[in-house]
Chain A
Amino acid sequence: MKNPDAIVIGAGVVGACSALSLVNAGLKVLVIDRGAVASGTTGAGEGNILVSDKEPSPELTLALRSRDAWFELNTDIGGGFELEAKGGVVISRSQSGIANLKKLSAQQASCGIKVVELDAKGIREIEPHISNSVEYAVLYPQDAQCQPMLAAAQIMRAVRKRGGAFIQGENVESINTKSGKVIGLSTDKATYQSPIIVNATGTWAGAIAELAGSYLPIMPRRGFILVTAPAPKIVHHKVYDADYVANVASSDADLQSSAVVEGTESGTILIGASRERVGFQSDLDVAVLRQLARQAISLFPILSNIPLLRAYRGFRPYAPDHLPVIGEDANVLGLWHAAGHEGAGIGLAPATGELIAAQITERKTFMDPTPFSPKRFKQESNVAI
């Protein structure tokens, strides 16, 4: 493609959604990834599209729009990525936990989220195998899921069909600027001109900002997911303990996990996901697997006999304040960031794409994007521009 209007770096779910929104807005878009589609964190994610785990906040506004945007996108590109409104069930077993969950769900309801309170009997009607110790839960019918790798791949397919171009296997090694403005980029194989670059490199977004002489504090947060052997239908929704919500927002570096348990079409059960800050350490950590297994069994004791088949891990991209970064760089004009979605990048991707495309094309955004602006970070080191 000659002289694209915009280049998107990264073909994870966020890059794919950004590219699609830009193409839909009429731009000539080139997507470049150093690997294949979904070869980054998207290929290691679980595919939860959750509204249940967010407190009223700008992120919840983004999540609500994104959840609906997933279903619109599904219709728009013809599906093929196993999108399903499966519903989430959040439980709590302690007095204080139940009180908090009641409070949170009431607040969420006031923001337009559908919530259904369930008593001991109500829970067992929809999750017959839940532990005896569970007596209170909230059902979130809007919680959904997709197969994230297929989603990214199907979206990239649509991008290509609508005139976008996609280059795989080229590593971006420099962002070329002139008087503080983007003019293009160079990979290990070629140089491309473009006045706009969207940095959708997830966990590696800080490195791209650095290439441009700017700064973006995105760090990796490791997570493991367990996959069991196929089993008869045991788990019908996404079920998790309310502690999970506390974990997501936590800044503690130690291992935290609150297992989200869900059954899939093929009968396998997914148990995810742990959260630790251990850099890019990739070795199998059995202690983490054991903790996830214990939590899953505490929700569904019957899982005890089901064999674990495999485990995979990925590195969530996170910013110090746990909010995604969506907006133009603080120092370099024409460099846009769409990264740092931590454990919610799949869920938040379509709305992120809309937000980034609307800002680039100077159209009306569906919400005020300021809370996500990269300009919120104080640069720690002085880099020459």
Chain B
Amino acid sequence: MIDVRNLSKTFLAPHEVRALHNINTSIEAAEVVVVIGPSGSGKSTFIRCLNHLETPDEGGHIYIDGKDVLDSKTDINKVRAEVGMVFQSFNLFPHKTVLENVALAQRVVRKRPKAQAREKAMALLNKVGIGDKASSYPDQLSGGQQQRVAIARALAMDPKVMLFDEPTSALDPEMIGEVLEAMKTLAKEGMTMVVVTHEMGFAREVADRVIFMDQGAIVEEGPPEHFFTTPDHERTKLFLSQIL
């Protein structure tokens, strides 16, 4: 489903930083991949390159569902419509109600009729458990509720892949559970997911594979059982001992 070849990313401003260094990996359909690593290791940069929110260095390739994401001939908007993204800071549209947040892109990008878009939005809001907040505005919601709206908003496009960049890091502890629950449901339904998170419990329980990144490179990857119990690399062991 996703194929990443020789992906590198160098930020030039404010000073030169090699955020990603020759990344190669593949993600199968219906696979749930959790990306972990210390702060500044390039996890966000990696996931943001996947839907071209960041432009990687020349020479790398990303294929999603067979389409070359970085090729200038590819209609990037079409690719992005198939790739849902959930941000750490929710990024809901504050001037629109919850329902409109979920319906907007359906109408604008998918050109669905208003009634159909609203119906779908309502169904998704019910699915993530906040149907009763449909006519509220985002800032009237708790963080956990906002993040669930953001998940519903991404799902409304019927994406083939969902990207999550630390979806629970901005949440109070008591709200983390409700968001993870929604993500688990999604994983069980067979969604292809790439999740950057510090929630090791989630990684153990839901991930098919864990990728450990450090200093812009993939240090180690493997199934969670193996990864958490008998990691191969010293760097991984050190990291795990620090967070577990």
Q: Do A and B come from one complex?
A: no
Q: Give residues in B with beta carbon < 8 Å to A.
A: none
